[in-house]
Amino acid sequence: MYYEAELRRQRRARAEFLTDANMAFAGGKDAEQHLQALLK
């Protein structure tokens, strides 16, 4: 039970990192909006 919850947490963290990295490379207004959403 705890193991499965930890796997879900790690998958979510990896997905969030991938999204953040993609936005960083994309740049522009989309990346700026994404950063502002993260900072809220």
Per-residue pLDDT reduced to its tens digit, 1-40: 899 999 999 998 998 898 888 888 888 888 888 888 888 8
Integer Cα distance of 27 and 9 in angstroms: 27
- Please name the residue ranges forming H helices in 1-40: 2-26, 28-39
Report the alpha-carbon angle 4-8-14, nearest 5.
140
Global confidence as pTM: 0.63
